[in-house]
Amino acid sequence: MMKKNVLFALGIFSIAACADPAPSDSPGLVHASFAGKNVSLINENGRCALSLSAAQSITLDMIWPCRFSEDRQKNVRVESYRQAQVLMVERSEHLPAPSKDCATDLQAIRYFKGRLEVAPVSQIAACGPGYWDQKALIWDFDW
């Protein structure tokens, strides 16, 4: 619970870093090169899933549509940290009117020591897509 509160606070303080104040109707970045493979985000029965190949996917803990987080050049952001590669999947949705805020789900995925690992979903009150602090990508993993 403490981690989610800290992550929520990080999200609030990084709202100014968001690339676009409103979520897009289009999923956006859904193809990436990660851990030496081409991966995609797909709609798997209304859930967001990471497709590793035609026969293998990992269902994530958020509904479709989702997208990969982006770097400052609007490419898929892949971070290297302690000999791991980490990327973030995000989904942003406007809160009901009259609010102009959003609820955003963030879920990090890392490739570390030959394995893919998926972090729990973190929820923040900021509109994506955004350039999230590196802590948001690595926070939920044991290092």
Query: Residue 142 domain-assigned?
Result: no
Query: Residue 15 domain-assigned?
Result: yes
Give the domain extent around 83.
2-133
The reported pLDDT for the residue numbered 49 is 96
Region 95-116: what's the mean pLDDT? Answer: 92
Query: Residue 66 domain-assigned?
Result: yes
| Conformation bin of residue 74: beta by default, left when phi > 0, alpha when psi is -120 to 50 | left
Distance of CA 134 to the CA centre of its chain: 12
The reported pLDDT for the residue numbered 27 is 67
pLDDT tens track for 13-67: 343 333 333 334 446 899 999 988 999 999 999 999 999 987 889 999 999 999 9
The reported pLDDT for the residue numbered 118 is 95
Query: Residue 54 domain-assigned?
Result: yes
Please report, rounded to a whole number, the percentage of residues in the chain having pLDDT higher than 90.
50
Using CB atoms within 10 Å of the CB of residue 110, give its burial: 0 to 12 exposed, 13 to 18 middle, 19+ buried.
buried
Residue 92 amino acid letter:
S
Query: Can you give the length of the chain in residues?
Result: 143
Residue 125 amino acid letter:
A
Q: Tokens for 123?
A: 């929820």
Region 78-103: what's the mean pLDDT? Answer: 92
Query: Residue 90 domain-assigned?
Result: yes
The reported pLDDT for the residue numbered 55 is 80
CB 23 within 8 A of CB 90: no
> Which residues make Cβ contacts (< 8 Å) with residue 115, sequence separation at least 6?
none
In angstroms, what is the C-alpha Rg of the chain? 14
Predicted TM-score (pTM) of the model is 0.76
Average pLDDT, the chain: 81
Query: Residue 74 domain-assigned?
Result: yes
Domain count for the chain:
1
Query: Residue 95 domain-assigned?
Result: yes
Residue 132 amino acid letter:
W
The reported pLDDT for the residue numbered 39 is 95
Query: Residue 79 domain-assigned?
Result: yes
